[in-house]
């Protein structure tokens, strides 16, 4: 073996140590393995070691996409990442509020949702580990994102989704060449159906593996950079499984730990009143999130999760940042779509929960005069055409 190759292998081995995963519950530790998505005890995994800092001083010379932060993305060879140049989505001022409200346009990703942040990093990591096929379960957007990046990576892909998913999302998954398995029942039934497939094929789960949240944390890096390396006072985001809240918490915590920003924002979660397990647990002061007992169909299909896998971490993130949870009604969700449309912004109902949630949190005094608040707009309106009357 030539010394150059040897050096590269040693570098890879040294780097991979940073990718060891740790169970928060039972403290089991695992080396990276494409078949390993969770702990044997049933808990999700996180990386054992903190991520290295982003290279702030080098950003000026790098492309305006999320890979400018590659040092923190747990990918050994970022030059080989599976990417479409995604990220650095616009952060604009909202017209409709007297408050300083900014909108992060994360529906402008290649597949029309913020899930591309996680999919780009997760599929890059799985390919780096040698995977040539993936399975995934999704209410639609994560499935479309995984299907897109799997197509780009040349991987075989099977996506499980609830049978009631919006036709536009199903078409998108099919056109990317993924095999689609429709599951009767609620979102939880879909999650349970994929686990059998995950015994023989790598499970590209946006809820289990820490790679997905690692990609999503770039939304925090972008917001801070776009604000001149400052964290906002509040961030409002839709919460289903809570991956965007976990990504925000991870990203802003890393920026503060590395002395890049001075503060972290309060995390304000928005849920549909018809399916709001995190709200129930948060209001009760509970440590665990119980399965939501009586979910009803909601326009916000992307966050209709009755039992989020990382729910305790989501609650911890909200409490740790002195955040809050707000719920919105179906009428308010539809009003939210129309309110944003009046500013020229077309999002899907799942994204529009942040509009009425923001108003409610202002009424409740959670969002205060003089605060700088960022609302994350997560998915394109084209994903759910026909769902909201004009
Ligand atoms: Zn464990």
How is the chain split into domains, by residue range?
Answer: 91-114+211-384, 115-206
Taking the centre of ligand 1 as the mean of its atom positions, its distance from the CA of residue 247, in whole angstroms, is 21
Q: Name the band, by pLDDT with cuts 50, 70 and 90, for residue 383.
A: confident
205-239: burial string, b at 16+ Cβ within 10 Å, e else = bbbbbbbbbbbbbbbbbbbbbbeeebbbbbbbbbb
Residue 1 confidence (pLDDT) above 80? no
Average pLDDT of every residue of the chain: 91
pLDDT of residue 155: 97
pTM: 0.93
For residue 201, report the distance from its CA to the centre of ligand 1, in Å: 21
CA gyration radius, the chain: 20
Four-way CATH pick for 91-114+211-384: 2.120.10.30, 3.40.50.1100, 3.40.50.720, 3.20.20.105: 3.40.50.1100
224 Cα: distance to centroid of ligand 1 (angstroms): 33
Q: Which residues contact 356 (CB under 8 A, 6 or more apart)?
A: 270, 326, 328, 329, 332, 333, 335, 336
Q: How far is the CA of 40 from the centre of ligand 1 (A)?
A: 6
State the distance from the centre of ligand 1 to the C-alpha of 212, rounded, in angstroms: 19
**Residue in the block written with tokens 């209410």:** 139
Residue 165: per-residue pLDDT: 82
| pLDDT at residue 227 in the model | 98
* Contacts of residue 384, Cβ cutoff 8 Å, sequence gap at least 6: 166, 168, 169, 299, 301, 348, 349, 350
- Report d(CA 340, CA 381) in Å as an integer: 11
Whether the predicted pLDDT of 3 surpasses 60: no
Give the pair of three-digit tokens for residue 273.
Answer: 């009143």
Q: How confident is the model at residue 291 (pLDDT cuts 50, 70, 90)?
A: confident
Q: What does the pLDDT look like over 191-221, one tens digit per residue?
A: 888 998 999 999 999 888 999 999 999 999 9
Q: How far is the CA of 288 from the centre of ligand 1 (A)?
A: 16
CATH topology of domain 115-206: Rossmann fold (3.40.50)
Lowest mean pLDDT among 218-227, 363-372, 378-387: 378-387
Lowest model confidence (mean pLDDT) among 29-33, 183-187, 284-288, 363-367: 183-187
Cα 136 from Cα 185, distance rounded (Å)? 17
**How far does residue 264's CA lie from ligand 1's centre (Å)?**
29
Instruction: Identify the pLDDT of residue 17.
Output: 55
How many angstroms does the Cα of residue 25 sit away from the middle of ligand 1? Answer: 5
Average pLDDT of span 321-342 = 95
Q: Which residues pair with 328 in a beta bridge?
A: 272
CA of 294 from ligand 1 middle (Å) equals 30
94 CA to centre of ligand 1 in angstroms: 43
Per-residue pLDDT at 2: 45
Give tens-digit pLDDT for 123-174: 999 999 999 999 999 878 999 999 999 999 999 999 999 888 888 889 999 9
């Amino acid at each position: 073996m030539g010394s150059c190759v040897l050096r590269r292998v040693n570098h890879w081995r040294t780097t991979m140590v940073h990718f060891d995963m740790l169970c928060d519950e039972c403290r089991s530790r695992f080396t990276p393995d494409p078949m390993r998505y969770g702990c044997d005890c049933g808990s999700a995994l996180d990386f054992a070691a903190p991520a290295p800092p982003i290279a702030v001083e080098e950003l000026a010379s790098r492309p305006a996409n999320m890979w400018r932060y590659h040092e923190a993305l747990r990918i050994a060879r970022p030059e080989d990442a599976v990417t479409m140049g995604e990220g650095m989505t616009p952060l604009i001022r909202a017209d409709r509020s007297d408050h300083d409200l900014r909108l992060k346009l994360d529906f402008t990703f290649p597949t029309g949702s913020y899930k591309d942040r996680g999919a780009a990093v997760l599929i890059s990591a799985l390919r780096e580990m040698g995977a040539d096929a993936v399975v995934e379960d999704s209410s639609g957007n994560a499935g479309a994102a995984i299907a897109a990046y799997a197509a780009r990576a040349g991987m075989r892909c099977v996506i499980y989704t609830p049978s009631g998913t919006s036709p536009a999302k199903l078409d998108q998954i099919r056109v990317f060449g993924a095999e689609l398995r429709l599951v009767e029942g609620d979102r939880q039934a879909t999650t349970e159906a994929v686990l059998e497939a995950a015994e023989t094929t790598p499970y590209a789960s946006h809820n289990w593996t820490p790679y997905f949240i690692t990609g999503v944390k770039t939304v925090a890096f972008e917001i801070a950079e776009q604000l001149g390396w400052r964290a906002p006072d509040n961030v409002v985001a839709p919460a289903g499984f809570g991956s965007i809240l976990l990504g925000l918490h991870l990203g802003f915590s890393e920026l503060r730990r590395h002395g890049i920003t001075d503060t972290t924002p309060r995390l304000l979660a928005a849920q549909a009143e018809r399916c709001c397990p995190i709200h129930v647990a948060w209001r009760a002061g509970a440590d665990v999130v119980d399965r939501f007992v009586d979910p009803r169909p909601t326009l916000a299909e992307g966050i209709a999760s009755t039992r989020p896998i990382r729910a305790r971490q989501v609650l911890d993130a909200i409490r740790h940042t002195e955040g809050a949870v707000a719920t919105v009604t179906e009428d308010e969700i539809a009003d939210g779509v129309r309110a944003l449309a009046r500013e020229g912004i077309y999002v899907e109902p799942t994204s529009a929960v942040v509009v009425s949630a923001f108003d409610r949190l202002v009424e409740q005094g959670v969002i205060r005069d003089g605060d700088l608040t960022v609302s994350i707009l997560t998915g394109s309106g084209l994903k759910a055409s026909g769902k909201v009357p004009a």
